[in-house]
Chains A and B, each alone.
Chain A
Amino acid sequence: MTTANQNAVAKYKNNFLKEVEANVEDGHWVKMCMQCGVCAGSCPLGPHWEHSPQKIFMMIRAGKREEVLKSDSMWMCTSCYNCIVRCPRKLPITHIMHGLANYSHRLGLAPQGQPTREIAKLFWDNIVKTGRVNELTFSLAMYFKDGFGQGIKNAMAMQGIGLGLMKAKRLNPMEILGGHSCKDKSGIHKMLAKAREIEDRRKGLA
């Protein structure tokens, strides 16, 4: 368990709603949920969520901290924004799900090996490096995330698509050497470090 998690438990005791309001993006909206269930019925991956957003909101209010933060539900969000536009109370549900996912990830409580959690981290690391996505190295990092053997298997399975994209000039093998990049990489790195520092201080993650 991370120190940040122990600190949060000590600080908010049994008031998980208060913790979410303070530390989760748009968390102050959670109390406005009227439990109608439109979000649950609107989610394209709805059947795969252990707990729908509607349930997550009620669980937060019921103080079910562990169950919420260890759930893999939030990681099922495809960012389609259906729930946001349909919510009768206009809760920014997508943002809250993203916020909960990020908070649970940073506290070290999100499920280990959850595939969307893993690719989200690979993606962020990829863009931070040069300031822009390197589609080739990102794809390779995804294929090889479960080790070399599995990586070769994945790459072989996707070989046809990869070659097709190269032929269509939509994937450049030379990207392996670095590829597209921002000029002010160091400025971007310093900017992101500062942004993280400010946010971590505000949320007790520092």
Chain B
Amino acid sequence: MSKKQYAFYPGCSSQKKASADNFLRSIDVVCDKLDVQLNEIPDWNCCGASIGYGEGGELPRLALSARNLALAETNFAGQDMVSVCPACWLASRETAERLHENSSLLAETNEALKEAGLTFKGETKARHFVEVLIEDIGWDAMKQQVVKPLDGLKFAGYVGCQTNRPFGIVGESFENPLYLDKMIETVGAEPVKYDQKVTCCGGALAFSEPDKAQKQIRDIVESAYDHGADMIVTPCQLCQANVEIYQSEINKKQGTKFNMPVVYYSQLMTLAYGGSAQQAGLDGQLIKADKLEKIAGK
């Protein structure tokens, strides 16, 4: 089978020694096992993230994403652009769709892009890596690679917001998306049913409104505990960071004893595919995922 090729937009948090460095290591293993080749877009830039609107305005933000799309189009013609970060994906897809549909906005954006020596034709599609797994690789092929099922482990699949809304994965409901639960089953573990699977973690407001965001995080972690989860698993870098990092703050302020690991779906896949703890990026957990390290060591 020949490798499936994609123009890859890693995003800021996936860079070396950035906050989701360990996530990308596990993505690499998953790609290797599933014959996916991610071609990093040369000189890609930040998407502006969720909070960029305050100062950035509409057209500057569209230009940021259009620059990435144009670089993908120029360097990897005919390939879809793929992101592993929900915020990168959301900004890119929104830009790609709006510029595809609105020729005057495309003209204005291209007037700005010209300053960076680029043009966007408005044809490249922006997709999420989870879509590639489900739609291009398929559940059967994902399951076939499992050599070390994660037997006996219970995960709270935390989908969060931006992988799920406003676009979401085709065929999934906004209120009760099931693909992450299915991924947990695919690696041989058990998804727990709990009510907070699409609750917002506070996003960027974890910085500016810490108490309000930490209430959200507390609800999520508490519900995962109440429903018997060993760990939380998520497709989102900001969800991972917020829900893992602030547990110690919540413990300090509210006397809770939270200590629940928060991992990525690709880390589970890496381990189930026979990868090491290092390949799965388990050394990147602030709250150690002991039960996964045990499996990796077997």
Q: Does B166 contact A (CB under 8 A)?
A: yes
Q: Does B49 contact A (CB under 8 A)?
A: yes
CB distance from A186 to the nearest CB of B (A): 9
Max chain A C-beta neighbours (<10 A), residue from B43, B62, B213: B43
Max chain B C-beta neighbours (<10 A), residue from A85, A160, A193: A85
Residue A116 contacts which of B12, B22, B51, B116 (CB distance < 8 angstroms)?
B51
Residue B58 contacts which of A115, A135, A199 (CB distance < 8 angstroms)?
A199
Which of A8-16, A28-36, A56-64, A124-132 binds B? Answer: A124-132
Which A residue's beta carbon lies closest to that of B219?
Answer: A44
Q: A135 CA to B51 CA in the complex, in Å?
A: 14
Which A residue's beta carbon lies closest to that of B44?
Answer: A182
Known A85-B165, A192-B64; contact A172-B17, beta-carbon cutoff 8 A: yes
In the complex, chain B residues 43-99 whose Cβ is within 8 Å of any chain A Cβ: 43-46, 48-60, 62-64, 67
Known A81-B165, A199-B60; contact A132-B45, beta-carbon cutoff 8 A: yes
Q: A75 CA to B168 CA in the complex, in Å?
A: 24
Q: Does B122 contact A (CB under 8 A)?
A: no
CB distance from B111 to the nearest CB of A (A): 6
Write the A145-189 contact mask toward B (1 if CB under 8 angstroms, else 0): 000000000000000110011001111100100001011100110
Q: Does B157 contact A (CB under 8 A)?
A: no
Q: Does A118 contact B (CB under 8 A)?
A: yes
Q: For A117, what are the chain B residues with a Cβ–Cβ distance below 8 Å?
A: 54
Whether A84 pairs with B45 at a CB distance below 8 angstroms is no
Whether A192 pairs with B63 at a CB distance below 8 angstroms is yes
Which of B124-132, B135-143, B183-191, B278-286 binds A? Answer: B278-286
Q: Mostly helix, strand, loop or mixed at chain B's interface?
A: helix
Which B residue's beta carbon lies closest to that of A162?
Answer: B245
Count of residues in A whose CB is under 8 Å from the partner chain: 63
Whether B115 pairs with A193 at a CB distance below 8 angstroms is yes
Q: A62 CA to B203 CA in the complex, in Å?
A: 32
Q: Does A80 contact B (CB under 8 A)?
A: yes
Write the B188-208 contact mask toward A (1 if CB under 8 angstroms, else 0): 000000000001101111011
CB distance from B25 to the nearest CB of A (A): 10
Whether A198 pairs with B59 at a CB distance below 8 angstroms is yes
Write the A183-206 contact mask toward B (1 if CB under 8 angstroms, else 0): 110011011111110110000000
Known A78-B202, A169-B21, A192-B60; contact A119-B207, beta-carbon cutoff 8 A: yes
Whether A80 pairs with B203 at a CB distance below 8 angstroms is yes
Q: Other CB < 8 Å A-B pairs besides A180-B16, A195-B112, 20 of them?
A: A25-B58, A44-B200, A44-B202, A78-B202, A78-B204, A78-B205, A79-B51, A80-B162, A99-B53, A116-B205, A121-B54, A121-B55, A123-B49, A124-B56, A131-B43, A161-B245, A168-B285, A187-B117, A195-B57, A198-B111
